[in-house]
Amino acid sequence: MKTLLLLLSCWWMTSAAASELLFWHQKEEARAWFPQIAKQYEAATGVRIKVSYLPTGELKTNLMRAVFDGNSPHAAMVPADFIGDHRRLGLRPLADNVFAAGMPPAALQLATYDGNRYGVPLLGGNHLMLFYNKKFVEAPATSWAELVAQRSQVERKGSQLIGWKYAEMYWFVSFMSAFGAFPVDDNAITLDTPETRQALSFYKQIADDGLVDSSCGYGCSYDDFKNGKYAYAINGDWAFKDVSTSLGDDFGVALLPTINGRPMVPMFSGMVLIFPNQDLAGETGKRLTDFAHYLQSQNIQQRFYDDIGSLPVHPQVVDRIQQTATANMQALLEQLQHAKAAPPTPAMAAAWIGMRKGFELYMSGHGSLEKATQLMQRFSEHELKKATKTNLESKQ
């Protein structure tokens, strides 16, 4: 009888654990890759991983909705700065056992807020750099003045100068740094500053001067660049492998050009594995922990680099990459050195929202520079206040 009861309890416990783990990600280059990994994992563990891809820009909102609606995925691979919205994403501090041994502190820092780790670092980088097509560019510009000087030369060769996702704040923030501006300082918003206004003014001016098309979306720096429409593109490490494959020897990577002698410092955030609304103590939690370790394993970390060109965090893999890095990779790694970590703070999460609003106001011509940065500041502060007040999650 006791045995029967024990068997029954084991069976019940087994049945209570999720037979399928839902996993969401936003890496376009991994759309086909992650399902392969999932299949291999299933083959090895019997745990089925259902992979869903969501485009960049929709992952956060879908995750939040899923959390609000109570049907969030078990895990998701997200940019580390999502941790700023840890409350709304239903993230809980993770225990040490979730992390692989030897995880670099710098990587762990990306997923840490207020002394708590809310995600498992999987990838590093996720930063912007300057891509260029050697077919049109002999030597990449190191400053914006040089870039402007190359315009006529590039256009004579049948291409346009440069393209990027103009209205995306992740790109704009790279320009802010050249003017000494940064959206946050610790957990305070610092957007209404003369430096931000200078950056905004410069950013609009280069579009008004025709150096860049202000209506450019991601396609300008990706497909259009690969097709030779642009000589230069500002894009991230996530596109490195694919563009390199497309352009071959014509592909070049360089540091972002300086502006008035000051360097453009892009943000980097890395990618982390989070567990929205999940309690890792239970059986499902064990499976998730196991899955986390799987993704942190050297093998998978190496495959991250080899298969989709993403920068892993595993120290040994990183060393090997550094040792065998091509010139372009070296440039990529060098830019990473000259990048600034996106703080995984609620202030940063709020600042992204505020920046967009002020940016759109100024670019549409309906507000002055002052009005734009004031809007950025007050809206970000309001968002921060809302984010830090007691909300739905805390009532559970």
Partner 1 sequence: MFEWRRTLRGTLSGIILAAALLPCLLTASYLIERFRTVSQTATVGALEQVARFLTNDVERDYQLLFATVEQLSSDPDIIYAAYTGAFGAKAQQKLEKVRQIHPAAHGLVIVDAFGWPVEVAPTSLELLELEPISPQLNTFFTDRSALNADVLDIDNGQFVQQIYQLQSRDQKEQVELTSNHLFMVLSPLWMSAADKEELHELVGALVVLMPVHSLINAAEKRLGYAQDMGISILDVSMDGQSLLQTQLDRSTLDRHLQIKVQLELEYTEATIELTLGVERISALQQVEALRTELWAIVAGLIIIFGGVAYLGARHLVQPIMVVNQLVSSYANGDYSKKSLKLSFRELQQMATVLEQMAQRIVDDQHQLEQRVKARTSELQTTNEELRHTMDQLKAAQHQLVEAEKMSQLGQLVAGVAHEINTPVGVAVTAATLLERQAQDLEQHVAEESLTRRALEEYVSSTLQTSEMVRSNLQRAANLIRNFKEVAADQSSEHLRQFGLLDYVNSLIKSLQPELKGYQLDISVDGDETLQLHSYPGAYSQVLTNLIMNSLKHGFYRDKHHHIQISFEVHEQHLLLKYRDDGRGIDAVTLPRIFDPFFTTQRTSGGTGLGLHIVYNVVSQKLGGTIEVHSDIGDGVEFNMRMPLALPNRNDAK
Site residues for partner 1 per CB under 8 A: 57-58, 60-61, 64-65, 68-71, 85, 88, 349-350, 353-354, 356-357, 360-361, 364-367, 371, 375, 379, 382-383, 386-387, 391-392, 395-396
Rounded distance between C-alpha atoms, residue 244 and residue 246, angstroms: 5
Q: Are 271 and 295 in contact (CB under 8 A)?
A: no
Residue 358: which region, alpha, beta or left (left: phi > 0; alpha: psi -120 to 50)? Answer: alpha
Give the other-Cβ count within 10 Å of 187's Cβ: 16
The two tokens of residue 34 are 């992650």
In the complex, least distance from residue 353 CB atom to partner 1, rounded to whole angstroms: 3
Q: Are 179 and 199 in contact (CB under 8 A)?
A: yes
DSSP 8-state assignment for residue 366: S
- If the CB atoms of residues 156 and 395 are measured against partner 1, the closer one turns out to be 395
- If the CB atoms of residues 259 and 350 are measured against partner 1, the closer one turns out to be 350
- If the CB atoms of residues 39 and 366 are measured against partner 1, the closer one turns out to be 366
In the complex, least distance from residue 6 CB atom to partner 1, rounded to whole angstroms: 32
In the complex, least distance from residue 242 CB atom to partner 1, rounded to whole angstroms: 25
- If the CB atoms of residues 341 and 363 are measured against partner 1, the closer one turns out to be 363
For residue 393, give Cα distances in angstroms to 24, 143, 225, 271, 273: 21, 47, 43, 24, 20
Give the other-Cβ count within 10 Å of 75's Cβ: 24
- If the CB atoms of residues 47 and 387 are measured against partner 1, the closer one turns out to be 387
Q: What DSSP element (H or E) covers 251? A: strand 251-254
- If the CB atoms of residues 70 and 115 are measured against partner 1, the closer one turns out to be 70
